[in-house]
Amino acid sequence: MRVVVGLLLLLLGLCGSGAQGEAGGLGEVAEINQNTDPKHAAEESTEQTTKQTTCDIWTELRALRDMVVELNVHVELLQRENSDLQTRLSSSESELLISKSRIDQLERENAEKPKVAFYTALTDAGNLGPYNTDITLKYSKVFTNIGNAYNPSTGFFTAPVKGVYNLQFTVFGYHAGNIGVDVYKNNQRIMANWERNDNNYVPEYFTKSLVLELTAGDEIHLVLPSGCSIYDSSDNYSTFSGSLLFTL
């Protein structure tokens, strides 16, 4: 009985060792199988790919960061240029407004400034004089009379405002003898002019001009002195003109 029990225990021990050995062998096989499992290889490949992708993403992010920094610098430069342009534009607009205001002021001053100018010729009748007395010359052919300061009925120019005036006249003589014209201001002679023509077939003429300071109401007229003659025709040889240079 004791022998049987001993054999049974021995068999159980051997079975246990075999089981352990088998279990150990199976474990090794499982470990080998685990190391060569395709799923495990795929996971390792995926992990490597992920690491590479992560590196690539960081590289792209750094490149994008550099681009953003560069763009920010460019934007700042553009903002500065835009600010400078706006400043210059504002300055130009201000200058334009000042210029326009000045132009408007000049236009108003010009509109308010009296305009005086006249241009006349004496007659189509040919020769006048000589007479035995002084004769007021009435320049009857009026070509320009801005401001209506010249009166062809009297031959008088009347200054409408105080100012400096330019006056000019031309005297033409066609026949032999003396030609001349005197200038009168307010019925007082201020200039005498005459020439001698000794040739009956050669005309003689002269032109004189004056710059006079006149007050409003002063009168200027031309007089043919006694013993002198003057000639005019449709060719307008003998003329009388004047204009306001500026007011005072």
> How many C-beta atoms lie closer than 10 Å to residue 155's C-beta?
20
Q: How far is CA 194 from CA 93, 205, 224, in A?
A: 61, 10, 10
Residue ranges of the domains in the chain? 117-247
Q: What pLDDT was estimated at residue 165?
A: 97
Q: What is the pTM of this model?
A: 0.57
Letter string b/e over residues 182-202, b meaning 16 or more CB atoms within 10 A of that residue's CB: bbbbeeeeeeebeeebeeeee
Kindly state the tokens that stand for 140: 């009857």
228, amino acid identity = C
Mean pLDDT by 10 residues, the chain (248 residues): 45 45 43 53 67 76 83 85 84 80 77 89 90 94 96 96 96 83 94 81 85 96 94 93 94
Quick one: pLDDT at residue 11? 44
| Residue 180 to residue 228: CA distance in whole angstroms | 6
- pLDDT score of 70: 82
Q: What is the pLDDT of residue 121?
A: 96
**3-state class (DSSP) for residue 235:** coil
CATH of 117-247, one of 3.40.50.300, 3.30.750.210, 2.60.40.10, 2.60.120.40: 2.60.120.40
pLDDT of residue 202: 72
Q: What is the CA radius of gyration of the chain?
A: 61
Count CB-CB contacts under 10 A for residue 38.
7
Q: Which residue has the tokens 């590196």?
A: 55
